[in-house]
Structure 1
Amino acid sequence: MNHPSDAALPPHRPAGGEPSPVLTRRSRLRLLAWSVAGIALAFAIYCAYALVYPERMPPAVGAIVEEITGANPHPVQLMRPQNAPLSAVALLGKQIFFDQSLSASGMQSCASCHSPQHAYGPDNAFPVQLGGAHMNQAGYRPPPSLTYLYRQAPFSIGPDQGDTDVPVDMTQLATQAAGVQRAQKTALAAPAAPAMVPQGGLFWDGRADTLQDQAIGPLTNPVEMANATPEDVARKLLATRYLDQFKQIFGPGIAGNPSLLISEAMFAVGRYQIEDPSFHAFTSKYDYWLEGKARLTHAELHGLQLFNDKDKANCAGCHLSQPGKDGLPPVFTDTQYEALGVPRNPAIPANRDPKFFDMGVCGPFRSDLAKQTQYCGMFLTPTLRNVAERKMFFHNGVYHDLTQVMDFYNLRNTSPEKIYPRDASGKVQKYNDLPPQYHANVDVADAPFDRKFGDQPVMTDQDIADIIAFMKTLSDGYRD
Structure 2
Amino acid sequence: MFDGSAGRAVALAAVAALAVAVVGSLMRADRRQLSDVPTPGELKELRKLYAGTPATWPRPLLLPGANFTEMAPLRLLPRPEGKEQKLVQLGAELFNDPRLSASGHFACQSCHNRRLGWGDGLPTSFGHGRAEGRRNAPSLFTVGYKDALFWDGRAATLEEQALGPLGDGREMANAELAGVAQRVAGVTTYRARFSAITGRDDVQLSDVVNALAAFQRTLERQTRFDRFAAGDQKALSDEEVFGLHLFRTKAGCANCHNGPLLSDGKVHNIGLSFFGRKMEDLGRYGVTGNPIDAGDFRTPTLRHVSVTAPYMHNGIIPNLRGVVGFYEGGGGRVREERREEGDRAPLFEAARQNSPQLRPFKLTAPERAALVAFLNTL
Question: Aligned with 1:307: secondary structure?
Answer: helix
Change (3 A) 1:149 1:383: same
Take 2:46 and 2:267, find their aligned partners in 1: how far apart are those partners?
37
Per-residue deviation, residues 258-292 of structure 1 (Å, max 9, x unmatched): xxx00121012112222x2xx2212x211121223
* Corresponding residue of 2:207: 264
Shift of 1:301: 1.1
* Corresponding residue of 1:131: 127
Question: Aligned with 2:145: secondary structure?
Answer: coil
Shift of 1:429: 7.4
* Corresponding residue of 1:292: 231
The gaps in structure 1 that reach 5 residues or longer are 1-59, 154-200, 256-260, 322-329, 345-350, 414-418, 452-456, 475-480
Take 1:392 and 1:428, find their aligned partners in 2: how far apart are those partners?
29
Change (3 A) 1:100 1:429: same
Question: Aligned with 1:208: secondary structure?
Answer: coil
Per-residue deviation, residues 46-85 of structure 1 (Å, max 9, x unmatched): xxxxxxxxxxxxxx9xx98973595752158954332355
Change (3 A) 1:461 1:420: farther
Take 1:421 and 1:224, find their aligned partners in 2: how far apart are those partners?
30
Take 1:395 and 1:408, find their aligned partners in 2: how far apart are those partners?
14
Q: Could you state the TM-score of these two structures normalised by the residue count of structure 1?
A: 0.59
Shift of 1:114: 1.1
Change (3 A) 1:242 1:94: same
Q: Greater Rg, structure 1 or structure 2?
A: 1
Change (3 A) 1:373 1:429: closer
2:319 corresponds to 1:388: no
What code does the residue aligned with 1:249 have?
I
* 8 Å contact from structure 1 (residues 65, 73) kept in 2: no
What code does the residue aligned with 1:147 have?
F
Shift of 1:149: 2.4
* Corresponding residue of 2:243: 303
Structure 1 residues 201-212: aligned runs within 5 Å: 201-212=148-159
* Corresponding residue of 2:256: 318
Take 2:310 and 2:282, find their aligned partners in 1: how far apart are those partners?
19
Per-residue deviation, residues 206-265 of structure 1 (Å, max 9, x unmatched): 11110001111111111111112112212222223412112222233434xxxxx00121
Change (3 A) 1:440 1:235: same
* 8 Å contact from structure 2 (residues 257, 302) kept in 1: yes
Take 1:360 and 1:247, find their aligned partners in 2: how far apart are those partners?
40
Shift of 1:402: 1.1
2:282 corresponds to 1:359: yes
The gaps in structure 2 that reach 5 residues or longer are 1-28, 33-40, 55-71, 340-345
Structure with greater contact order relative to length (CA < 8 Å, sep ≥ 6):
2
Shift of 1:103: 1.0
Q: Please point out which of 134, 143, 147 is paired with 1:149.
A: 143
Shift of 1:390: 1.9
Compare 233-242 and 106-115 and name the one that shifted more: 233-242
Question: Aligned with 1:289: secondary structure?
Answer: helix
Question: Aligned with 1:87: secondary structure?
Answer: helix
* 8 Å contact from structure 1 (residues 220, 227) kept in 2: yes
Change (3 A) 1:287 1:103: same
What code does the residue aligned with 1:302 have?
F
Change (3 A) 1:234 1:411: same
* 8 Å contact from structure 2 (residues 181, 208) kept in 1: no
Change (3 A) 1:273 1:300: same
Question: Aligned with 1:150: secondary structure?
Answer: helix
* Corresponding residue of 1:80: 76
Q: Could you state the TM-score of these two structures normalised by the residue count of structure 2?
A: 0.74
* Corresponding residue of 1:376: 294
Question: Aligned with 1:379: secondary structure?
Answer: strand
* Corresponding residue of 1:250: 198
Shift of 1:440: 4.4
Take 1:244 and 1:67, find their aligned partners in 2: how far apart are those partners?
60
* 8 Å contact from structure 2 (residues 294, 347) kept in 1: no
- Runs of 4+ displaced beyond 3 Å: 63-66, 68-72, 75-80, 83-86, 353-356, 419-422, 427-430
Shift of 1:108: 1.3
Question: Aligned with 1:242: secondary structure?
Answer: helix
* Corresponding residue of 1:21: none
Take 2:208 and 2:154, find their aligned partners in 1: how far apart are those partners?
20
Shift of 1:141: 0.5
* Corresponding residue of 2:183: 236
What code does the residue aligned with 1:319 have?
H
Take 1:263 and 1:84, find their aligned partners in 2: how far apart are those partners?
19
- In the comparison of the two structures, how many residue pairs are matched? 311
Take 1:334 and 1:90, find their aligned partners in 2: how far apart are those partners?
29
* Corresponding residue of 2:267: 337
Question: Aligned with 1:281: secondary structure?
Answer: coil
Take 1:80 and 1:203, find their aligned partners in 2: how far apart are those partners?
21
Tell me the C-alpha RMSD between the 2 structures. Answer: 3.0
Question: Aligned with 1:473: secondary structure?
Answer: coil
Per-residue deviation, residues 365-402 of structure 1 (Å, max 9, x unmatched): x3xx11x1111111010100111112211111111111
Question: Aligned with 1:121: secondary structure?
Answer: coil
Shift of 1:151: 2.4
What code does the residue aligned with 2:124 have?
V
